[in-house]
Structure formats: structure tokens, C-alpha cells
Amino acid sequence: MDKPNLPHIVLVVPRGEAVRNFLYSDTLRALHKSARVTVLSVVDDDCFLARFRPWTEDIIPLRQAQEHVLVSWFRYLVHTAHYRWLWSEVAKNLWEWRDALNARGIARWRWRLWKALVFALANRPTLAALTCVERQLTWAMRPNDEFVDLFKRLKPDLVFNCSHIHGEAGELPMKVAKRMGIPIAGFIFSWDNLTSRSRIFVPYDHILVWHEGMRRQLLGLYPNIRPEQVQVTGTPQFDFHFKPEFQLTREELCERIGIDPARPFILYTTGVDQHFPEEHRTVELVARLIQKIEIQPKPQLVVRTYVKGTSAEMKALANAGLPDVVFPPVLWEETWYTPMYEDLSIYSSLVRHAAMSINAASTVSLEFMMLDKPVMNLGFDPPGSKLPRHFRWIRHLLFDHFRPVAESGGVMVARSAEDVRVMLYRGLTRPDEQSAARMTFIKKTFNGTLDGQAGCRVAEHLLALARNRRIDLSEPLKREVANAT
């Protein structure tokens, strides 16, 4: 369909998980109704192209060009200084980890010199100035003019980065678009990003966030961002839990994953093996305790492993044939860590039908709380492990984003194997015991955005932003862009 008078929006998909949030959700289809949409994506296999082409004008492969070593080094310096200034619990833990890694020999002295340099730069005015320098370096030493040429051809009204973090391929096109005078917007991908991930280097005109708490946090960290630039939309990744089309019946789900629909099941979701070492020992503990629990019918354990990092020991455990324990396959395309469309129904149904959740300190806790189901978080090291201080599991419960959950009264926090035994029985036999605290926390945190409509709200905001301003390059910058090639 010819839509020449509609706004043109470019969606930048720099990581596979952003596919779930903005292409599988309602966002892309809602935009298609009222705008011309071009997608720049790191994921470009035939299945991907076939699924989304009906709602786009074009899908263009997004390649990450090799940047100049000076640009990469300088960005890392500013990133590290930002961590030291931020000094969140995650930043402290990373510092401790680096101290342990560089504890001996010449590496120790190099690390001390680096820390001294970083400490000198770790203040708000210096970081703001260094961020401006980083943007100038990125533009002046850009590896090529691919995105200059692309945006001159596409003439977009808005460029939207579907994931501001964990997608380095998206950094350069966003900075080039901004330099060309094109309005740019970004999405704070996850609830921990502001306190546990890199400094935001891209000078976004508009930023979308999960909830009001994240908005206040963002404005506090970046005083150059004005309140009207930040919009609360909710996150589309939770939409699927509230849409009937993504809900399998209990019988359908149990048949797919191979468990008994007449018996309750507990969903254990693992973490990245690098962050949660020796987790297979904890899964073994839970499996043993479930076998001993005096509840009828006997519960089953479903273990959903994390595709970004599953240890060899956990894989061996999955193949060990433990009684009443199932490790269902996770349907992801592992090259880009892209969830398959079919996995949306399976995961949403696992959350919907599980009796309770066990996870160390995960977003899964929020998903169970919003459906008013019991949650057990793990605040002790795996049995038999001897982890150094900087790898101890308790640290995750103290991280800035998760601490409010752990202290909400809406989750159980196990600090020993005995706690796990007691809390398994409590969660299975008294599931409503923490209901009031769960609902109070969720209502206060998300304030009405858990309605299955976050994807549509994102689309509405993007359309409003695109319609508000057309490309208008200043004369000096027009000449600079025109001469770039």
C-alpha cells in the first residue's frame, strides 16, 4: 500500500531480545497502520524476514562496523568512570571482581593506575564533558558513511533504538541520525539497566521507560535530560502474560513439556552460569527436597535454563533423568538470542500454570508477583560450593534494582537449605499468604501499565514523536552531511 504522506519511522533492532519486545508485540503492527516502517536488524535470517516483511517497507541488515581503537578505548574509560561515580551495588561488585582478577604481579599495578585515573574522572561535570567528547570522536572517526547515506535515502521522521544497551551495533546509527538532525528515541530495556549497565552515550531526544520509578532514577542520573523527554509506557515483554492468544491450557502445556497435568509443578528458572556459579547443586537440592515433601499429589519440578549461559554441569544434570524433574527445551535462536515466536506461549503458560517460582534474583519474580503467585528467591550459595566473596549469591538480592523486591514482603527469601524446605511447603500449601504484599508492590511499581497494552502505548508515543517534527538540518550541518561521502 502506498503511504507517502505518513510519517516514516526506523526501528533499530540491535539485539535479538528486542525482537520479542517490539516486533512480536503489538508495536510493529500498530505502527504499520499509521506509519511507514523500516527495520534495521542484526537478525536477518529468512524466517525473520518472512514473518515481519508484511508490516514493513523494508528490513535492512544491521552490521556492526569495526570502530577505531581510540574510540573504543575512550568509551570504555568513560564507562568505567561512570561506574565509579554511580557506585551502585553492581558497580561495587564489579570493582571487587576486578580487584580479585588483578591481585598479583604487574596486573595489580596496572589496575591500580587505571583505578586512580578513573577515580579522578568519576564526577558529574567531568563525565558530562567526556560524554560530549565521546560523541565527537565517534562522529569524527566513524568507520564509514553507510548510515549517513542510508538516512539521506530513507529520510526518516524518527529513529527508535529498541534496546539502548547490549546492542553495540545500534550505537553508531543512532549517533549519526542525531548528528543529521533526525529525532531519535530509545527504550531502557530492563529494570536493572540504569544501575548495572553502561553510561548512556547516545543523546536521545526521547526515552521510554518501564515505570515512574525508572523515570525518576533516569532524571536523577542525567540532569541534562528534561522531564518531558521521558515517557512511561510499561514494557511490551510483559504484554504476553495478559493476552489470551498466548495462553495454552494446562493440558496443552503439560503435554508439550512432558509432565502430569493432574499434579502441581514448580518453575525453577536458572541464571547465567557466570553470575550464578555451581547452580546445578542448588537444582539438585530442590529436586531432593521435593521428593521428600509430604504433599499429595506430589509436585513436579520444571527447570527452565537460561540460554545466555548454561554450564556443562547443568546440561549433564538435565540428562541425568532425575525423578519428577523436567528440563524442557527453550525455543530460542541461539545466534542472536532471539526467542522463537512459539516460545512466547510456552513461557507465558509456564508462569500462568506453575504453583510457584524459584529463582535467585530474576525478572521472573516480577512476572509471578504480577500474577499473584508465590516466589522463592535464593540468598545462599549452592550446597558444597566454596565461592569467593565477589561471587556469593547473596549479592544479587542486594543489587539496587532487586533489593526493593527482596524487602517487599511479597517474596520468600531462602538463606539456607532448611529455608528452601520450609518455603516449598509454605508456597505450595499457603499460596495466598503474601498476596497483599505482592499486589501492593506491583501496584505501586507499575501503576496500571500491566494491561497487555504496553506495545500499543510505545507505538502511540513513537507516532506522536514522528508527527511532531520533520527533518530540518541546519545549514552548516547540511553541508557537512552532504560532503561526508
Query: Tell me: the pLDDT tens digits for 221-239?
Result: 999 999 999 999 999 999 9
Q: Which helix (H) or strand (E) holds 375?
A: strand 375-378
Q: What's the mean pLDDT in 293-319? A: 94
Distance CA 179, CA 138 (A): 11
Distance CA 198, CA 157 (A): 28
| DSSP-based helix, strand, coil % in the chain, nearest 5 | 50, 10, 35
C-alpha distances out from residue 31 to 27, 261, 484, Å:
6, 40, 32
pLDDT band at 469 (very low <50, low <70, confident <90, very high): low
Distance CA 205, CA 270 (A): 37
For the cut 70, the answer to whether the pLDDT of residue 174 exceeds it is yes
CB atoms within 10 A of CB 97: 14
For residue 473, the model assigns a pLDDT of 37
Distance CA 480, CA 485 (A): 10
Closest CA to 157 of 259, 243, 34: 34
| AA identity, residue 324 | D
The three-class DSSP label of residue 7 is coil
Report the alpha-carbon angle 215-219-221, nearest 5: 115
Q: How many helices (H) and strands (E) does the chain have?
A: 22, 15
For residue 201, the model assigns a pLDDT of 96
For residue 146, the model assigns a pLDDT of 96
Distance CA 246, CA 281 (A): 33
With a CB cutoff of 8 Å and minimum separation 6, the contacts of 145 are 484, 485
Distance CA 335, CA 239 (A): 25
Taken in order 152, 139, 14, 27, is the CA torsion positive or negative?
A: negative
pLDDT band at 5 (very low <50, low <70, confident <90, very high): confident
Distance CA 188, CA 256 (A): 34
C-alpha distances out from residue 192 to 170, 222, 450, Å:
20, 16, 18
309 vs 456, more confident: 456
Distance CA 54, CA 448 (A): 32
For residue 336, the model assigns a pLDDT of 81
For residue 478, the model assigns a pLDDT of 41
For the cut 80, the answer to whether the pLDDT of residue 27 exceeds it is yes
For the cut 50, the answer to whether the pLDDT of residue 484 exceeds it is no
- Residue 54 is given by DSSP the state G
Distance CA 395, CA 403 (A): 10
Q: Are the beta carbons of 377 and 412 closer than 8 angstroms?
A: yes
Closest CA to 480 of 188, 258, 181, 246: 181
In percent, the amount of the chain with pLDDT more than 90 equals 88
Distance CA 385, CA 348 (A): 33
- The per-residue pLDDT of the chain, averaged, comes to 93
Q: What's the mean pLDDT in 355-370? A: 97
Give strand pairing partners of 413.
377
Q: Are the beta carbons of 182 and 164 closer than 8 angstroms?
A: no
Distance CA 67, CA 144 (A): 9
pLDDT band at 56 (very low <50, low <70, confident <90, very high): very high
Whole-angstrom Cα Rg for the chain = 24
pLDDT band at 3 (very low <50, low <70, confident <90, very high): low
Q: Beta strand pairing status for 356-359 and 325-326?
A: unpaired
For the cut 70, the answer to whether the pLDDT of residue 470 exceeds it is no
For residue 198, the model assigns a pLDDT of 84
Closest CA to 263 of 328, 330, 325: 325
State the number of CA atoms in the 13 A half-sphere of 472 facing the CB: 4
pTM of this prediction exceeds 0.85? yes
Q: What's the mean pLDDT in 139-156? A: 96
Q: Are the beta carbons of 337 and 307 closer than 8 angstroms?
A: yes
Distance CA 17, CA 187 (A): 13
Distance CA 324, CA 225 (A): 52
Q: What sections of 260-340 are H helices per DSSP?
A: 279-292, 312-318
For the cut 50, the answer to whether the pLDDT of residue 246 exceeds it is yes
Which DSSP string do the residues of 170-236 spell out, in sequence order? GHHHHHHHHHTT--EEEE--STTHHHHS----S--SEEEESSHHHHHHHHHH-TTS-GGGEEE---G
Distance CA 315, CA 327 (A): 9
Closest CA to 191 of 157, 170, 214, 166: 214
Give strand pairing partners of 13.
41
Task: Give backbone dihedrals phi and psi of 359, rounded to 5 degrees, phi first.
Answer: -155, 155
